[in-house]
Amino acid sequence: MAKVLIKRLPHAEGLDLPSYQTEDSAGADLRAAIDNDIVLIPGAKAMIPTGLSIALPKGTEGQVRPRSGLASKFGITVINAPGTVDADYRGEMKVSLINLGTEDFTVERGMRIAQLVVAPYIRADFEETADELPETVRGTGGFGSTGV
């Protein structure tokens, strides 16, 4: 368990903090901190505020991922999935939703719209080389090179 400090902005007053729904859930659900309903017509997108700013531990990122129920039932997903919340970001966390379904979808205040996975990452020290890259069996094969 990593301690993550959260700052609640005024428009998140009364809403639950991100919460894990079961003991071993990887994602903590994020809630919509909106005053009025937002109707997403098919194809429409909207940036939904969470009303929260967070300070993730150094060396971790927040991955903003879709909820599979909203995606499979209604076609509601996160446009930039997985969104990246940097450990040094102190602005409001937001969720970019899009309606890929065929019906209008109404986002209501407090609705659990996406989930946040806190994950470790490593940073690369990118170094250009004039030599060949280390050889591998795969080589340049990709994009279906191993068949379906």
Ligand X SMILES: O=c1ccn([C@H]2C[C@H](O)[C@@H](COP(=O)(O)OP(=O)(O)OP(=O)(O)O)O2)c(=O)[nH]1
What residue ranges bind ligand X (CB under 6 A)? Answer: 64, 80, 83-86, 89, 93-96
The least distance separating ligand X from the CB of residue 105, rounded to whole angstroms, comes to 18
Consult the annotation and say whether 69 binds a ligand: yes
Consult the annotation and say whether 146 binds a ligand: no
Residue 41 Rama label (left phi>0; alpha psi -120 to 50; beta): beta
Question: How many CB atoms are located within 10 Å of the residue 57 CB?
Answer: 13
Distance in angstroms between the alpha carbons of the first and the last residue of the chain? 39
The least distance separating ligand X from the CB of residue 78, rounded to whole angstroms, comes to 7
Consult the annotation and say whether 68 binds a ligand: yes
Residue nearer to ligand X on the CB measure, 18 or 83: 83
Helix (H) or strand (E) holding 72: helix 68-74
The least distance separating ligand X from the CB of residue 61, rounded to whole angstroms, comes to 8
Consult the annotation and say whether 80 binds a ligand: yes
Question: How many CB atoms are located within 10 Å of the residue 29 CB?
Answer: 18
Residue nearer to ligand X on the CB measure, 50 or 101: 50
Question: How many CB atoms are located within 10 Å of the residue 112 CB?
Answer: 17
Consult the annotation and say whether 84 binds a ligand: yes
Give the residue at shortest CB distance from ligand X: 83
- The whole-angstrom separation of Cα 61 and Cα 42 is 31
Residue nearer to ligand X on the CB measure, 82 or 130: 82
**Edge-to-edge strand ranges of the sheet holding 76-78:** 45-49, 94-99, 76-78
The least distance separating ligand X from the CB of residue 107, rounded to whole angstroms, comes to 15
Residue nearer to ligand X on the CB measure, 86 or 108: 86
- Point out the annotated binding site for substrate: 67-69, 80, 84-86
- Point out the annotated binding site: 67-69, 80, 84-86
